[in-house]
Structure 1
């Protein structure tokens, strides 16, 4: 694990320790269906894009985002054709917040993913969302328990992997959504070949055991060529943050979701 990731995880542990035990949420009774949303986009011939409300990253800042601005960005992303939203709630390195998440979900109608470095069970009850990111490389052997907690709250877990070892473990867990992150947990470098190598392993597993995992390609999409490359590799949807937050959101979204109409996907 890269030292920067270790710092983020440590901060997440500190945040979790400070949480009130009484701050809990009930079951999410109005969960929005990510599978249906992706399916509708595919029927239109679109590349399904999960668009990220991402104020900053450890390498730079994209925008000053408060709940009102988060809501506006989320609405713009929905109107531009996003199948779902990913909202950062990590405050120290990504300048996200629970308030941004709640505001974005309140003012949109598509599924919303809570994206954070979840390390403690108390964080699983901080907010209501339709999906929650669980990182295999962070949770390790605790992953099945956190998947179960998400299911009890009627929240769909998106389980993220970075390499073959993590993938093999996750395929043994009770998850329907697998996110393949092209950013290395060791070097932080991005390589789209990561997804190209791991997606066939998921497909082979599903054929062998008569299962069906939905695969989300994460990190590294910087334009239509990258988007179509990930879809060719077998990704069912793409999570895109930095590229969209850097400006011209609506134009970039239009190009991304319509990319496979201009190029033959085989």
Structure 2
């Protein structure tokens, strides 16, 4: 695994906790994983922006905690037109859990991304997931084996990057779904220009997501025009009415 040097203290704390978190007790197999690219295609065919709406109780970059039931929040997001959902399973810093993930996945019929800081193969076995997030910056040479391990279990894989070098590493590791995070994990600053600068390095054959910092209809259109096949939106949907907010982004 790559060194976690040059990350914000809040991120370092998340990584330290992730290294200590155990995995599942037995290997999982997902026989019915829902496809994220297929969900995006269906949304676009229906005239909707492909939005991955995030069930995020809290985070180091937001204030307060959303106490709403994750299942009810998820259902409202799907009713608002979300093509897919993202559910945090990181417990210490984001208030997530694998139990929340299981409940949400059972309650909806769209793909559900497991969003966490996964560092070891055994952590993939904590829950059966449609799609898992793997962060190129933190996995380094372990990225390709982790992608393979997830696929062997039947899971889709979203590889998160922040730079052209990380895109190259992700492609070399076999990534087919790539998310460009507009948030710099070293400074915790968000710049939508990151997506615009890095997106040209992503092969056209890949499914491309814009992540973080999207908070308006204009920004949705900006990311789509820059090449985003889908948009991962968390705080801007959770802050207020999740159905209405999701609909606003979906129909931007």
Fold in common (TM above 0.5): yes
Whole-angstrom CA distance in 1 between matches of 2:199 and 2:128: 30
Equivalents in 2 of 1:174, 1:190: separation in Å?
27
Distance in 2 between residues matched to 1:110 and 1:102, nearest whole Å: 13
- The counterpart of 2:60, out of the listed 58, 61, 65, is 58
Q: What does 1:60-75 correspond to in 2, within 5 Å?
A: 60-65=63-68, 69-75=69-75
Deviations 1:55-109 (A, max 9, x none): 00013233125xxx11111111111111111000001110000000000001111
Q: Normalising to structure 2: TM-score of the pair?
A: 0.94
State the match for 1:6 in structure 2.
12
Unaligned 5+ segments in structure 1 are: 207-211, 260-266
Show the 5 A alignment for 1:226-245: 226-245=219-238
Q: Does 1:250 align with 2:252?
A: no
Q: CA deviation at 1:126?
A: 0.6
1:33 Cα offset (Å): 1.6
Uncovered stretches (5+) of structure 2, i.e. residues with no partner: 1-6
| Partner Cα distance (1:14, 1:127) in 2 | 17
Report the Cα distance in structure 1 between the residues aligned to 2:65 and 2:179, rounded to whole angstroms: 23
SS state at 2:21 partner: helix
Is 1:222 paired with 2:215?
yes
Q: Determine if contact 1:62/1:246 at 8 Å carries over to the other structure.
A: no
Report the TM-score when normalising by structure 1: 0.89
Query: 2:129 maps to what in 1?
Result: 129
Secondary structure of the residue aligned to 1:118 is coil
State how 1:148-187 maps to structure 2 within 5 Å.
Answer: 148-187=148-187
SS of equivalent residue, structure 1 residue 27: coil
Kept in 1: contact 2:28–2:127 (CA 8 A): no
Report the alpha carbon displacement of residue 3 of structure 1 after superposing the two structures with TM: 2.0
Following TM superposition, where does structure 1 have runs of at least 4 consecutive aligned residues deviating by more than 3 angstroms?
A: none
Asked if residue 35 in structure 1 is aligned to residue 37 in structure 2, the reply is: yes
SS at match of 1:125: helix
**Secondary structure at the residue paired with 1:61?**
coil
- SS of the aligned residue for 1:255 comes to helix
| Other structure's SS at 1:168 match | helix
| Rounded Cα–Cα distance in structure 1 between residues aligned with 2:28 and 2:191 | 39
The alignment partner of 2:184 has SS state of coil
Q: Which has the larger radius of gyration?
A: 1
